[in-house]
Amino acid sequence: MPLYGCAGRIKLRKVVRRGGLAGEADMKRLCTSILALTALVATPATAQDDWDLGRDPERRLTIAAVTYDNFGVAVRCMDGVLSLVVSGLPEGPGIRNIRHRLGDQPAMNGRWVSSGNGGAAFSIWPAATAAYLAGGGRWVFEVPDGERVRRISADIPASATAIGEVFTACGRTLSPSSREDEPDQEDFAGLRWVRVPEPNFPSRTDAASGLAAITCTVTARGDLRGCRVESEFPEGAGFGRATTMAAHRDGKVGPSEPGQDMEGRRVSWYVRYNMSDVEPLPTIPSRLPDRPERNGERPPAEAD
């Protein structure tokens, strides 16, 4: 059974750099994490069908993944928090700006975060990115790599079921409008801060730094309610909870012009805790499902 990065099946072309394949060390870390999940029940699908789907009820984990020998993407729900991880990218620390395009869809300028100098990157706005990928197509990444931009591309199958199952596990619904409905960047819906929430650093965490992105609904008075964690790094470190608590307690927005209706609008932003754009985060665990060998191969991912 091939595991993500553990058994070669489809090769990246032209990816030798600084003595090895891009993301090679990160693949080894991913393999270690995957092998710890051998009890995960994976449901395979053909390359033309859907993404691989796996569940582990004990860990409250549902995951959909597409894997290659040296590149892969996974959407997962773990403990009610959605995440999306891509591995096999040029190494880079902290927050990363990555431009990517799927098929004929408009390009996205995404914000991603990496741990250390690894080749894995997590989307800060995973729901919008996952909804974008559900349509399938040729996925092209433009990733800063030192003084140049590295271009990586791979054929991603459409997902009619698997990504939707992950959304459902996280209390979300994947629909044709999800790409537009889910936040893909900081957005204050034309409003302005009246009182900026000031979250406290989580008291029960071993992490020295972190990040959390949230979305909140605005009341008629400008208070923030129904805040939801969009992403948290490191996962389970308490930064998401700290951010939502501060938003509910202190956050207040106001109209940017007289007479502006605020009720029901959604605002999205992220908070950094003791970190700059280039400061690496602690190691972020990545888990992708074991799955049986496929019949046939996907077209290879490419890098230049």
Between 242 and 119, the more confident residue is: 242
Query: Which of the four pLDDT bands, split at 50, 70 and 90, describes residue 277?
Result: low
> In whole angstroms, what is the distance from residue 223 CA to residue 236 CA?
26
> In whole angstroms, what is the distance from residue 219 CA to residue 253 CA?
9
Burial of 180 (0-12, 13-18, 19+ CB in 10 A): exposed
- Give the pLDDT confidence of 203-230 residue by residue, as tens digits: 888 888 889 999 999 999 999 999 999 9
The pLDDT of residue 48: 46
> In whole angstroms, what is the distance from residue 112 CA to residue 36 CA?
25
**Pick from 40-44, 113-117, 161-165: least confident:** 40-44
pLDDT reading at 297 higher than 80: no
- Give the pLDDT confidence of 6-40 residue by residue, as tens digits: 332 222 222 222 222 233 343 344 433 333 332 34
Give me the residue spans of the domains in the chain: 16-182, 191-273
* Average pLDDT of span 78-95: 85
> In whole angstroms, what is the distance from residue 192 CA to residue 42 CA?
46
Does the model's pTM come out above 0.85? no
pLDDT reading at 265 higher than 90: yes
Query: Which of the four pLDDT bands, split at 50, 70 and 90, describes residue 71?
Result: confident
**Pick from 34-38, 61-65, 169-173: least confident:** 34-38
- May I ask the CATH architecture of the domain 191-273? 2-Layer Sandwich (3.30)
User: What's the chain's average pLDDT?
Assistant: 76
* Average pLDDT of span 191-197: 94
The pLDDT of residue 8: 27
Q: How many CB atoms lie within 10 A of CB 293?
A: 10
The pLDDT of residue 224: 96
